[in-house]
Amino acid sequence: SAEQLTTRIISGESGISSKDIRSGNIKESDHTKYMKTGENMKSIPLYIDQTGSISIGVLATRARRLARTLKTSKNQDLALIVVDYIQLAVTSSGRYRDSRVQEIAEITQGLKTLAKDLKIPILALSQLSRQVESRDNKKPILSDLRESGAIEQDADIVMFVYREEYYLNNEQPPVGTEQHINWQARMDDVHGKANILVRKHRHGPTGEVTLQFNQTLTRFSDLAKEEHLPDRYE
């Protein structure tokens, strides 16, 4: 919902956990910071449409209308559209209600057309299939995208967020064993890190990028290079 998304943004910007914000359990020392971040949010040109099961036609109409309104009233350009997530959208025609794969294809083609018409990027989130959970190597690949064919074809860039720590948490060996020692060493290595896996890049290279991940704030940030870290911590 818009409220949940706003809470996450305020959490990431203020450094106050979203759990504390939702429960109203904000420390007195953080109250000023929270209020200031909330005030700053009012100036951010962020527009949230909470319509459930929105059709690609309705989405496109509203996006074009917003783009015109921003230009005429504020002399601003619409810069980015985020669809969260693509499997929740439906087609305008209703022709493929019995074939989800074909329906997703029509949706991705509609988003591609909208991006070209408005000359802006569209970031479309997608669900993954359950195949990834049954593999030893949990790093997602293109075929793990749910109803993936059209998404692979139409997207200029496909990126996945992968956190090894998430999976290792569920695989802890018995304490005191050699396996646990190795597991703990690996956990220490990946703690607080996330990988961005670029699996497709129409106009550039693919690869992986490691980021710092703050789970409490759901915030990603650049990871300091090892040579920039001190040799010892006091």
- Tell me the DSSP string of 207-232: EEEEEEEETTTTEEEEPPPGGGS-S-
Average pLDDT over residues 204-223: 91
The verdict on 229 and 185 lying in the same domain is: yes
Q: In which domain, by residue range, is 27 found?
A: 1-44
Contact 168, 187 (CB under 8 A): yes
Cross-sheet strand order for the sheet of 157-162:
157-162, 193-201, 207-214, 219-222
Does 100 have pLDDT greater than 80? no
The verdict on 129 and 162 lying in the same domain is: no
Contact 173, 183 (CB under 8 A): yes
Does 225 have pLDDT greater than 70? no
Torsion of CA 26, 27, 32, 34, to 10 degrees: -30
The verdict on 85 and 123 lying in the same domain is: yes
Residue 212: what pLDDT? 94
The verdict on 169 and 93 lying in the same domain is: no
Q: How many domains does the chain have?
A: 3
Does 124 have pLDDT greater than 50? yes
Distance CA 49, CA 59 (A): 9
- Concatenated DSSP letters for 15-40? ---HHHHHHT---HHHHHHHHHHHHH
Residue 226: what pLDDT? 57
Contact 202, 157 (CB under 8 A): yes
Average pLDDT over residues 21-27: 84
Structure tokens at 146: 């749910």
The verdict on 54 and 150 lying in the same domain is: yes
User: Whole-prediction pTM value?
Assistant: 0.82
Highest averaged pLDDT of the listed ranges 15-24, 135-144, 225-234? 135-144
Q: pLDDT band for position 33 (50/70/90)?
A: confident
Q: pLDDT band for position 179 (50/70/90)?
A: very high
For the chain, percent of residues with pLDDT exceeding 90: 46
The verdict on 95 and 18 lying in the same domain is: no
